[in-house]
Amino acid sequence: MLKKYYVLIILFSFVFLMSFSESIFKGFVNPEHFPDPVYEVLKNPVTKESFELGRELFYETALSRDNSISCGSCHIQSSAFTQHGHDVSHGIEDRLGSRNSPPIMNLAWNKAFFWDGGVFHLDMFSISPITNPVEMDEKMENVLEKLRSKNEYRERFKAVYGSDEITGNQVFKALSHFMIMCISSNSKYDSVMRKTEVRFTEVENKGYKIFLNNCSSCHKEPLFTDGSFRNNGLDNKFNTDTGRQTITLDPEDRFKFKVPSLRNLTYTAPYMHDGRFTKIDQVLDHYTKGLQESHTLDPLLKKNGQLGIPLTEDEKMNLKAFLKTLDDKYFITRKDLSEQ
Amino acid sequence: MKNQINIIICFFAIFTNSFTSYAQNKNANLAKLTLELNHVVGNKPLKLQDESYINEAGEKFNITSFNYFISNVKLYEKDGKEYVIPQDSSYFLIKENDPASKKINLNIPKGKYTSVTFTIGVDSLRSTMDISRRTGTLDISGGMVDGMYWTWNSGYIFMKFEGDCEQAPIDRTGKRKFRYHIGGFGGYNKPSINNIRTVTIDLSKKGLIKAKNNTNSRVLIEVNALQVFNGRTKVSIVKNPAVMFGNVSKLISENYTGMFSHISTKN
């Protein structure tokens, strides 16, 4: 009889402890099949408080001049933190930007930010959309004033930084902490790579091989980008954005843009730096038959003197099946990344 | 046990005491130096908005803002001995509309100094440091419009010089203006424009700094903004109404290294 009780007690406490550990905040955890992050996570450890403060700020409309939009307005979680349905970014008072808003995803591994890599550290990123006239069009001093006027923020900043002064740097660091926690590493592809019992289907497997032969040198696994800047042969008659050249001023960088990740491709339409393609089929057609020759065109897109990547319709079908395995449903539905 | 603690406390007291007196001594060894910057345009004093000036290209203009960074101040003695102002406190943003900013107050060791060297702009090391090491005048929160920081191409604006000129073409905002935002620390991972410029001011002709106990040496420096147009390369507003991150910026940064001249030293 007594033994039975013991077993029950042990069982209950086990369940209790398990449920407890679920709710314990683990900080930044590097997925095992990912490389080491670029962001100095060890120097800036993410705490529960800093992450939650960052999240609060990410969804804070006081960051915009007319208090109408937050970071989350143009980086929507259900679209893998992109601005669904917009080719170029859409700021306050319906002002339009010049480029497509990229996903907030796996930023801890990013070496450079923006399509042209003009910003080289995540902490220096947030000031840009906040002060950009076609995005949030606000001054940091006003943002700080608005935040300081709210007791809740003063308490939260005090909990994280030990002072309720609230400075720009503190806001930027907290936003970085939220953003580096937006990790997408739970797609079907990830399960296969982690050697769980999940397997690719035959079609996906064929697609994976096509990917490895044709796409993987730029869209490098496991992040599906090598972080480099390349000219992928887009027609630039209508959009004369020269990309990387605006930062380096090097004519060899003309029309080069950062290689985007292919993770969550289904959710991040439209595609390219100006969102010109709305469907993956258009993107594949571009690579097979739409490339424009130019002196900075990436050499990998002109192998043996032949422009483009030759793919049959069958191969395209298989490739698309593989690309679907990069969708991470968990990432776009995780409650802890949503507005609370 | 109690005795041991007492001894430790005693030692600690002696140690802290001697340490504070050492620190005081160190402070006592420092003299005060003020670099006073007097802004002019040719032979007229610089006055924002109201006063108009003419450059060598014959263009009539007024000035609406004139801001620049001075950093990494160093002093040299006759024998070449160098004193470097501690780097964390060696960044100064000079703004025409803020008179206090035109006086740079420094603490220096006693001695006779024959020249002063400084950077116009912010060095590349500081430009790439963690933002927690960039507070005060280096806080990036000011952004581009009011501040001295390019948000789209991470880096400080070393000099911002703006004004109106009737001969200038109408710009996107419908105004006839010149806008010179000069920056560029050389590129983060790929070489790009480097407009970091160093200025050396020779004090041997108009008066050495003779820094002694309890004195405040004042070095008066004239800063002639007209040099931006009239320096080594003549720059015309009509041809270059907006100069930011491009090759003309190199000519302008070379030009403005010639803005500074030593007027006098009061010891």
Express each pLDDT in B35-72 by its tens digit. Answer: 999 999 999 999 999 999 999 999 999 999 999 999 99
Model pLDDT for residues A232-270, shown as the tens digit of each residue: 999 988 888 999 999 999 999 999 999 999 999 999 999
User: Can you list the positions of beta strands (E) in B168-238?
Assistant: 177-183, 197-202, 209-211, 216-224
Judge whether B12 lies within some domain.
Answer: no
Q: With bands split at pLDDT 50, 70 and 90, how would you rate the model's confidence at A148? A: very high
Two tokens, residue B251: 């000519």
Q: CA A83, A88, A90 angle in degrees (round to 5)?
A: 65
Judge whether B21 lies within some domain.
Answer: no
Number of domains observed in the structure of chain B: 1
Q: Give how far Cα A187 sits from Cα of A100, A208, A222, Å.
A: 24, 14, 11
d(CA A173, CA A168): 9
| SS percent in chain A: helix, strand, coil, step 5 | 45, 5, 50
- In this prediction, residue B261 carries a pLDDT of 97
CB of A41 less than 8 A from some CB of B = no
Name the residue with higher pLDDT: B144 or A319: A319
**Minimal CA–CA distance to B106: which of B37, B214, B33?**
B33
Mutate to test the interface with B, among A89, A99, A120, A161 (most CBs of B within 10 A): A120
Residue A192 in this model has a pLDDT that exceeds 90: yes
CA quadruple B124, B130, B136, B138: dihedral sign: positive
Quick count: other Cβ atoms within 10 Å of Cβ A252? 11
ipTM above threshold 0.95:
no
Residues of chain A with C-beta less than 8 angstroms from the C-beta of B187:
248
- In this prediction, residue A186 carries a pLDDT of 96
Mutate to test the interface with A, among B128, B132, B151 (most CBs of A within 10 A): B151
Judge whether B18 lies within some domain.
Answer: no
Q: Closest approach of chain A CAs to the CA of B267, in angstroms?
A: 40
**Minimal CA–CA distance to A55: which of A183, A176, A136, A166?**
A176
SS3 B265: strand
Share of chain A above pLDDT 90, in %: 83
| SS percent in chain B: helix, strand, coil, step 5 | 25, 40, 35
Judge whether B16 lies within some domain.
Answer: no
Judge whether B19 lies within some domain.
Answer: no
| Contact predicate B159/B249, CB 8 Å | no
Question: What integer best gives the mean pLDDT of chain B?
Answer: 89
Judge whether B6 lies within some domain.
Answer: no
Two tokens, residue A241: 């954005």
Residue B28 in this model has a pLDDT that exceeds 60: no
| Packing angle, helices A168-180 and A48-58, rounded to 10 | 100
Residue A273 in this model has a pLDDT that exceeds 80: yes
- In this prediction, residue B25 carries a pLDDT of 45
- Unique residue bearing structure tokens 């040496």: B217
Question: What integer best gives the mean pLDDT of chain A?
Answer: 93
The mean per-residue pLDDT over the stretch A136-150 comes to 95
d(CA A36, CA B177): 49
Residue B19 in this model has a pLDDT that exceeds 50: no
- In this prediction, residue B22 carries a pLDDT of 42
Nearest CB to B132 within list A119, A169, A246:
A169
| Contact predicate B155/B147, CB 8 Å | no
Two tokens, residue B107: 């603490």
d(CA B40, CA B221): 11
- In this prediction, residue A266 carries a pLDDT of 96
Judge whether B15 lies within some domain.
Answer: no
**Minimal CA–CA distance to B146: which of B195, B95, B100?**
B95
Interface list for chain B against chain A, based on CB atoms closer than 8 Å = 128, 130-132, 134-135, 139-146, 149, 151-154, 187-193, 245-247
Name the residue with higher pLDDT: A60 or B145: A60
Model pLDDT for residues A177-187, shown as the tens digit of each residue: 999 999 999 99
Torsions phi, psi for B62 (to 5 deg):
-120, 170
Residue B30 in this model has a pLDDT that exceeds 90: no
**Closest residue in B to A118 (Cα–Cα):** B153
- In this prediction, residue A15 carries a pLDDT of 61
DSSP conformational letter for B45: E
Nearest CB to A120 within list B140, B142, B154:
B154
Residue A11 in this model has a pLDDT that exceeds 70: no
d(CA B196, CA A318): 53
d(CA A107, CA A32): 16
DSSP conformational letter for A271: B
Name the residue with higher pLDDT: B82 or B136: B82
- Can you give the residue range of the structural domain that contains B246? 31-266
A144 contacts B193? CB cut-off 8 A: no
| Contact predicate A64/A57, CB 8 Å | no
